[in-house]
Amino acid sequence: MDTTRTALIAGALTLVSLAIAPSAVAGASTHEYVRIAQLSLRPEVLHIDEGQSVGWLNVSRHAARVTFQREAARHMICDSEQAFRLTESGLESRRIQGRQFASMCQLEPGEYRYTVELEQSASGSGTTGLVRQLHGTLVVH
């Protein structure tokens, strides 16, 4: 097969794969991510459209926990809390270890402030200590 024909076939396959990408399918949900780094959240303020889901990817060397005010649970659009649970202190993610992520259901339009606590385990004792708190905002349009 000649190079030109191979390039045309590859280009056509790329167009077909883009045409049937999950984000292009009606009703398909897409994810946006906040990166949890050592000293910051990237982005600190995340704007998403209604129908999109959000996830937090921990790229720090500490375990992280994302916490929203309890009120945020009333604005979730899903049947389960997934990686989040309702506690006395708020709507809280499970511990997100380094190189892991936690994903949240879709939210109704609004502005949601949250806190990310970076924790470090004390060796051998099983207890944790707070290393740093980071603050972020999720804006759903």
Per-residue pLDDT reduced to its tens digit, 35-66: 999 899 999 999 999 989 899 999 999 999 99
* CATH superfamily entry for domain 29-140: Cupredoxins -  blue copper proteins (2.60.40.420)
Which stretch of DSSP H or E encloses residue 85? strand 84-86
Give 124's DSSP letter: T
What's residue 48's pLDDT? 95
Residues 41, 133: Cα–Cα separation, whole Å: 10
Residues 36, 67: Cα–Cα separation, whole Å: 13
Rounded to an integer, the average pLDDT of 65-73 is 91
Residues 34, 128, 100, 65, CA torsion sign = negative
Residues 113, 139: Cα–Cα separation, whole Å: 9
Confidence category of residue 33, pLDDT binned at 50, 70, 90: very high
CA atoms within 13 A on the CB side of 45: 4
Statement: the pTM of the whole predicted model exceeds 0.75: no
Residues 28, 131: Cα–Cα separation, whole Å: 38
Q: Which two tokens stand for residue 105?
A: 């259901």
